[in-house]
Amino acid sequence: MLLPWICGAAILRYRRPIVAAGCLTIALLCVGALLAAWETSRADTVILDSPVTTTVTGVVIGREAVAGGRWRYSVELSSTEQPILKRAPRRVTLTSGGRNPPLAIGSTLRGRARLLPPSGPALVGLNDFAFDAYFSGSGAIGFFYGAPRPAPADTGISSNLVRHIRLELETLRGAISARIRTVLPGDTGAFAASMVTDDRRAISKETTEALRLAGLSHIVAISGLNMALAAGIFFVGIRGLLSLSQGIAHRYPIKKFAAAGALATVTGYYLISGFAVSAERAYLMMAIMLGAVMLGRPAISLRNAALSAIVIIVLSPSAILGPGFQMSYAATLALIAGYSIWQNKSEGGEAAAQRGIYRLLAIPWMFAVGVFASSLIGGLSTALFSIEHFHRVAAWGLPANLLAMPIISIVVMPAALAALLLMPVGLDWLPLKIMGLGLDVVILVAKWAASLGGEVAVGRIHGWLFLGLTLSLIMLGIMRSRLRLAGLVLGTILIGINAALPGVPRPDMVVHEDGSLVGLVRGDRIATTELRPGGFIFEQWQRALPVSRHVQPIVEASADPAPARRQLSETEKRQEIVALELDLVNMPSGRFRCRKDRWCVARSSNGTRIIVIKIRDLVGAACDRGDMVITPARLFWSDCQSGAKLLSQEGLRRSGTVEIRFDPDNIRHFRILSVLGQGDRPWYVHRTYDWRSGEFSQEGSPP
């Protein structure tokens, strides 16, 4: 199918250029589909089908310090026991509690662990963690019960040169992180380690939240900023040293030598970064730009940025769906376009800048203007993608970046690079202390900006608006003539249309895929079935819907222990049904009334009776008395005989979280939207697996 389109593009290139362009576009789409299929087949990740507690044995292939003295291990499994998993993941990520000494990378461990499959999207259009897990190769997450123990080495796990080198690099990365945290304790050391080795989980929740609210989270991860600063510092430094000798400067191409040295620097930086996706993307971009300098080509150009993007798309097509890729290249495109405009405007003022007092003020003035312009352009160009993926914008991101970025550029990164060079001889403590002082100031800036109001939740936006504004941003960045203003006009028109039209329709109710957490949405508030819902899911709901108020359930005390996990006698069943009927009579509108570990009931705005039932033996009674019945229990039937809508564990497992809209004229008519759609993707196939029978259902197929 691909070859005819390529041939058509080649044959019609000069005769029918427009038709040839269409043929080439279709050919490229086919190539993209083939690359996506190839990456999916190459990943072939086995994802755990359901939560389970088992004893795991495996090899530590990575580890990170976690806030509170804990450790997070990446483990390549060799076996499971009690029970033996029929469809065990090849690699899992597990957190160890306590303050025990960490196990060495490459060692074999054994411990009792709780394994959990990665969750699907919290709402339609939100981040799919199963997708991320599938392409990163991690089939489950979880935690150890207690500390894992060393175990005899497993000779069954194959080893090769690439795997050995990777383990050695992970060991080096861990040693560098430990050294930094030894010299700089607390959040300062954790922050410093994150910028050098991407080991960022040791930063406390308070500081992480402050950095996020201040729009400074991009500093934590190794990304284009870190790579560009590392390359720039070495490039300027090497070129400056070589230029001290006029003989060398006039005889040899010192600019190319400096580019080669900077390339070696960022290569080493990438090798100790843990091979994160953001670091890989930044490294490829910098390598291509420095390679262009070595070949005598312009380093900062749209062509080089496009070439690096093509390389990433070929190697990992899944990256283009992530916020990191989109935000990185949006900022790159905008900054290169801004640099081009600035360069054209400043050519006329260069002569004046060389005279008198202008020469003394030129350097600090240009630096200040550059920091301001870069922060402004970068913030505006990535705001759209922040709204699309995270449904929020940092209210004080610009002033926070204006205050923090000079410190990062002038103090933190030069000190970090000096510390890495001096670490082998033990003289790294002084540059690390200087780096720590700079990061302390950055943390203070983040906490100040966060205290002023933090972020603004904007909710989900229309798909056509996102695509249209992306197109307008591309037009502004790529076009060289005044035609680029067409992008500004297009963006203005789209924003005006969006302001005139109603926003993205919100659901009346949201049911999480676990069947326990349910939210009723009305106005700017959401009423849930839990007093303190888990922040991981609930915060995504608050930002995406958006809602600002949380209405807690009315919880009725029960004298008897909850019978949710055992079979009820007939007498107990009658007693529980009487209590359920009493709660149904007294249930409030738009708010849940709950009995702990038994049920929650509520009445929607249109009169629908909602029952969230946790006792399996009472699901039938709930069907007879409610209009919408939700249960986390596993059932052998899928529908209520009474005509009520039933959402059970098995159904929610296959559909993921669902959004529900009520019919104002019919209390038993619902519009239900699944976050997983058809659910036939390889990263969803584990949801159709039944570990009891060891088979996949008719709706899915094994990977």
Which residue ranges make up each domain of the chain? Answer: 2-43, 52-158, 176-457, 463-500, 509-696
> Which tens digit of pLDDT belongs to each residue from 535-581?
789 999 999 999 989 999 999 876 566 565 567 788 888 888 898 89
CA–CA distance, 400 with 545 (Å, rounded to integer)? 27
Mean pLDDT of 192-198: 90
Beta-sheet pairing, 140-144 with 149-150:
unpaired
Q: Please report the pLDDT score of residue 393 as a whole number.
A: 84
Q: Does the pLDDT value for residue 212 go beyond 80?
A: yes
DSSP for residue 683: T
Mean pLDDT of 314-324: 87
When pLDDT is cut at 50, 70 and 90, the band that residue 701 belongs to is very low
> Which tens digit of pLDDT belongs to each residue from 75-131?
999 999 999 999 999 999 999 977 778 898 989 999 999 999 998 899 988 888 999
Which residues does residue 601 pair with via DSSP β-bridges, in sequence order? 593, 611
Q: Please report the pLDDT score of residue 345 as a whole number.
A: 62
Q: Are the beta carbons of 254 and 239 closer than 8 angstroms?
A: yes
Q: Please report the pLDDT score of residue 344 as a whole number.
A: 65
Question: What is the chain's mean pLDDT, rounded?
Answer: 86
pLDDT above 90 as % of the chain:
32
3-state secondary structure of 646: strand
Q: Which two tokens stand for residue 458?
A: 């904007």
Mean pLDDT of 356-384: 72
Mean pLDDT of 149-178: 81
Closest-CA residue to 653 (of 634, 669, 672, 627) = 634
CA–CA distance, 403 with 344 (Å, rounded to integer)? 28
CATH superfamily to which 52-158 belongs: Nucleic acid-binding proteins (2.40.50.140)
Angle at 230 between CA 229 and CA 236, to 5 degrees: 85
Q: Which residue has the higher pLDDT, 698 or 508?
A: 508
When pLDDT is cut at 50, 70 and 90, the band that residue 700 belongs to is very low
Mean pLDDT of 206-219: 88
Backbone angles phi, psi at 670, to 5 degrees: -130, 150
Per-residue DSSP letters for 64-77? EEETTTEEEEEEEE
DSSP for residue 464: H
The secondary element (H helix, E strand) that includes residue 385 is: helix 356-390
Closest-CA residue to 378 (of 347, 429, 333, 315) = 333
Q: Does the pLDDT value for residue 1 go beyond 80?
A: no
Backbone angles phi, psi at 71, to 5 degrees: -130, 145
pTM comes to: 0.86
3-state secondary structure of 521: strand
Q: Please report the pLDDT score of residue 375 as a whole number.
A: 77
Q: Please report the pLDDT score of residue 691 as a whole number.
A: 82
CA–CA distance, 354 with 360 (Å, rounded to integer)? 9
| Range name among 42-46, 99-103, 292-296, 366-370 with the lowest pLDDT average | 366-370
Q: Please report the pLDDT score of residue 572 as a whole number.
A: 82
Q: Please report the pLDDT score of residue 252 as a whole number.
A: 87
Q: Does the pLDDT value for residue 699 go beyond 60?
A: no
When pLDDT is cut at 50, 70 and 90, the band that residue 702 belongs to is very low
3-state secondary structure of 690: strand
Backbone angles phi, psi at 129, to 5 degrees: -75, -25
Q: Are the beta carbons of 537 and 526 closer than 8 angstroms?
A: no
Strand intervals (E) in 515-644: 518-522, 525-528, 549-551, 554-556, 593-595, 599-603, 609-613, 628-630
pLDDT above 70 as % of the chain:
93
Closest-CA residue to 550 (of 565, 563, 570, 534) = 534
Q: Which two tokens stand for residue 159?
A: 């080893």
Mean pLDDT of 672-679: 80
> Which tens digit of pLDDT belongs to each residue from 381-420?
888 898 898 888 888 888 888 888 889 888 998 999 999 9
Q: Does the pLDDT value for residue 669 go beyond 50?
A: yes
Mean pLDDT of 623-632: 93
Q: Please report the pLDDT score of residue 72 as a whole number.
A: 92
Q: Which two tokens stand for residue 696?
A: 């996949």
Q: Which residue has the higher pLDDT, 565 or 193?
A: 193
Size of the chain in residues: 703
Mean pLDDT of 440-463: 88
Backbone angles phi, psi at 590, to 5 degrees: 75, 15
Q: Please report the pLDDT score of residue 398 as a whole number.
A: 83
Mean pLDDT of 575-600: 89
- Cis preceding-peptide flag for 102 (omega within 30 of 0): no
